[in-house]
Structure 1
Amino acid sequence: MSDAWLNKINWSDDGLIPVIAQEVDTGKVLMFAWMNRDGLKLTVEKKEAVYWSRSRKKLWHKGEESGHTQKIKAIYLDCDEDVLLLVVEQTGGIACHTGRHHCFFQKLEDGEWVISDPVIKDPEYIYAK
Structure 2
Amino acid sequence: MDWLDAIAWNADGLVPVIAQDADDGRVLMMAWMSPQTLETTRRTGEAVYWSRSRQRPWHKGESSGNVQRVRAIELDCDGDTLLLQVEQRGGVACHTGRRSCFYRRLAADGWRITDTVRRDPADMYGEGSDE
TM range (shorter): over 0.9
Q: Tell me which residue corresponds to 1:47.
A: 45
| Counterpart for residue 94 of structure 1 | 92
Partner of 1:16: 14
Give the fraction of aligned pairs with identical amino acids, expressed as a percent.
55
For the residues of structure 2 that align with 1:24 and 1:78, how far apart are their CA atoms? Answer: 17
Residue 4 of structure 1 and its aligned partner are, at CA, apart by 1.0
Q: Distance in 1 between matches of 2:125 and 2:8?
A: 35
RMSD: 1.2
Partner of 2:57: 59
Match of 1:45, SS state, is: helix
Which of structure 1's runs of 4+ aligned residues deviate more than 4 A? none
Aligned-partner Cα distance in 1 for 2:122–2:45: 28
Gaps of 5+ in 2: none
Deviations 1:51-71 (A, max 9, x none): 011111111000000000000
Q: CA deviation at 1:128?
A: 2.8
Q: Deviations over 1:95-117 (max 9, x none)?
A: 00000000000111114111111
**Number of residue pairs matched by the alignment:** 127
The alignment's TM-score, normalised by the length of structure 1, stands at 0.95
- Selected match of 2:115 from 98, 112, 117: 117
1:38 Cα deviation from its structure 2 partner? 0.6
Counterpart of 1:126 in 2: which secondary structure?
helix
5+ residue gaps, structure 1, are: none
